[in-house]
Amino acid sequence: MENKKKYEIPLHYMMAFVGGFFGVYTILSFCDLFGNAQTANMIYFMTDLLGHDFADAFLRLGGVLLFMAAIALTVWLPRHSSINLQVASIFLDGAAAVIAGLFPADIHPVLALYPFFFATAFQWNSFKGAKGFASSTLFSTNNLKQFTMAVTEVFLNKDKTHMVKAKFFGCTLLFFHVGVACSFAARTLIGPRSIFCALLPLCIALYTVCLANEWLPLAVTEGAGERG
C-alpha cells in the first residue's frame, strides 16, 4: 500500500500528459473533434438528428455506446476478474494510438475517434485521481475549478491548508498542457503518425504501475531507486 501511494502522483501526472497528448491530436486530426469526452459528441448527435443527417447521427451514437461500454467494463471487471484496470487502460491507450496511426487519411472523423472514445473512457475510470483528490487525466474543467478554488483559499483567504490541493491540481493542469504542447509539436513535424509518440509516455506509465505494485525484480527496483 505504501509503495502504491509513493507512485500514485507521478503516475497521475504521466496519464494527464497522455490525456493532453490524445486530446489535441484528435482535435488537429479529426475536424476539431475532441476524443476524450462525450459532451460535444452527444450535442452533435442531437443536431445531426434534427438536421436529418442520420448517417452521422448513427456514427455518433456508436461513439456514445462505445464510451458507455468502456465505463461498464471498468465497473464489471474488478468484480469478475483479477485484471488490473490501470494496466489494461495503458494497453488500451497504446492500442488506440497504434490503430489511429494506421487509419487512412480519408476516414470519417467520427469513426476515427472510436478507439479514443473507448480507451479514454476506460482511462477515466481507471485513473481517478491521487492523494485523496478526485481528478480527471483527460480534461481540465474540474481541475481548473479545483485549482482556482485552492489558490483563492491560499492567497485570498490566507488558508495555507489548501496549498497541497493547489499544487496537485496545478501540476495536473501543467502536465496535461505539456502533453498538449508536445502533441502539437509532433503533429506539426511528423503528421498523423505522430500519435505513435504517445507510446513513450505510456511505457513510462506502465513501468510506474509495475513499480507501484512491486512486480519488477528487486534488482531493477533498487537500480531505479539509486538513480532517483
Can you tell me the distance from the alpha carbon of 179 to that of 43, in angstroms, rounded to the nearest whole number? 26
Q: What is the CATH number of the domain that holds 50?
A: 1.20.1250
Contacts of 18 (CB under 8 A, 6+ apart): 93, 123, 137, 179, 198, 201, 202, 205
Q: Give residue-wise pLDDT tens across range 141-186.
A: 999 999 999 999 999 999 999 999 999 999 999 999 999 999 999 9
pLDDT digits (tens, 9 = 90+) for 54-107: 999 999 999 999 999 999 999 999 999 999 999 999 999 999 999 999 999 999
CA 205 to chain centre: 11
For the chain, strand residue ranges (E) read: 129-130, 133-134
Cell numbers that stand for 130 in this block: 491521487
The answer to whether the beta carbons of residues 172 and 13 sit under 8 Å apart is: yes
Q: Is residue 14 part of a domain?
A: yes
What gap in Å lies between CA 100 and CA 92, rounded to an integer?
Answer: 12
**Which pLDDT belongs to residue 2?**
75
- Per the domain annotation, does 228 fall within a domain? no
Cα gap 119→117, rounded to integer Å: 6
Confirm whether 130 is domain-assigned.
Answer: yes
Residue 189 included in any domain? yes
In which domain, by residue range, is 157 found? 2-223
Asked whether residue 31 is assigned to any structural domain, the reply reads: yes
- In the chain, the percentage of residues whose pLDDT exceeds 70 is 95
Of 117-126, 172-181, 201-210, 219-228, the range with the lowest mean pLDDT is 219-228
pLDDT at residue 171, as a whole number: 99
> How far, in Å, CA of 45 to CA of 33, rounded?
13
Residue 179 lies in a domain: yes
Domain count, the chain: 1
Q: Are 92 and 62 in contact (CB under 8 A)?
A: no
